Amino acid sequence: MAFIRAVVVLSLTILALPVMAQVQGDAERGRKLAYTCHGCHGIENYKNAYPNYSVPKLGGQHADYMVAALNEYEGKARWHPTMQGLSTTLALQDKIDIALFMQGEAAESTGSPVGTAPPQAATCVACHGQDGIGILPEYPTLAGQHADYLEQALKDYRKGRRQNAIMNGFAGALTDADIKALAAYYSSQKGLYTPTKR
């Protein structure tokens, strides 16, 4: 009996974990620290030069995911030189506070996707949701993200320049045409936005 109760308590704890894992911090402190970030992330349609693609929108993005992303730049699992450099200057609490500020109110599902999802999206919905809103705080929201950034990200996973055990597998199975269709679909959903100097 006690054993069964322990198992039940344990599984409830595991179920509750994603919620408990949500980062805690001070978005107001993050506002000040984010000053250096706005030069790129605070300008609508700002482009990365080489290769040429849009700087990702961070407004409405999950803070937990952004902290993980910053750690991945620092650990070189993601390649971008400026982001690698900046991430090493930030303490974990700085990353958390900036991420909470950038997130603002996390984007939420409208419950009615725009247009029809391409068939290739069937495997993606389990984590990124029907309309591209990540179903857990650690899954990125894709809804409303720049299409060319999404394409860049999927191609980077496919060729291993961006390392993530889950996404390297899924992206490896996609053709260029699949990537174009998926990026077009998710970018046309309602969700992420460019955080201006709030």
Binding stretches for ligand HEC (CB under 6 A): 36-37, 39-41, 48, 55-56, 58, 66, 68-70, 72, 78, 80, 82-83, 86, 98, 120, 123-124, 126-128, 139-140, 142, 150, 152-154, 162, 164, 166-167, 170, 182
Contact 182, 121 (CB under 8 A): yes
Q: Which is nearer to ligand HEC, 83 or 107 (CB)?
A: 83
Question: At closest approach, how far in Å is the CB of 39 from ligand HEC?
Answer: 5
Question: At closest approach, how far in Å is the CB of 102 from ligand HEC?
Answer: 7
Question: At closest approach, how far in Å is the CB of 19 from ligand HEC?
Answer: 16
Residue 44, amino acid: E
Q: Which is nearer to ligand HEC, 106 or 124 (CB)?
A: 124
Q: Which is nearer to ligand HEC, 23 or 55 (CB)?
A: 55
Question: At closest approach, how far in Å is the CB of 5 from ligand HEC?
Answer: 31
Opening angle at CA 64, ends 60 and 68, nearest 5:
115
User: CA–CA separation, 62 vs 74, rounded Å?
Assistant: 19
The pair of three-digit structure tokens given for residue 72, joined into one six-digit string: 């991945």
User: CA–CA separation, 184 vs 150, rounded Å?
Assistant: 9
User: CA–CA separation, 159 vs 2, rounded Å?
Assistant: 50
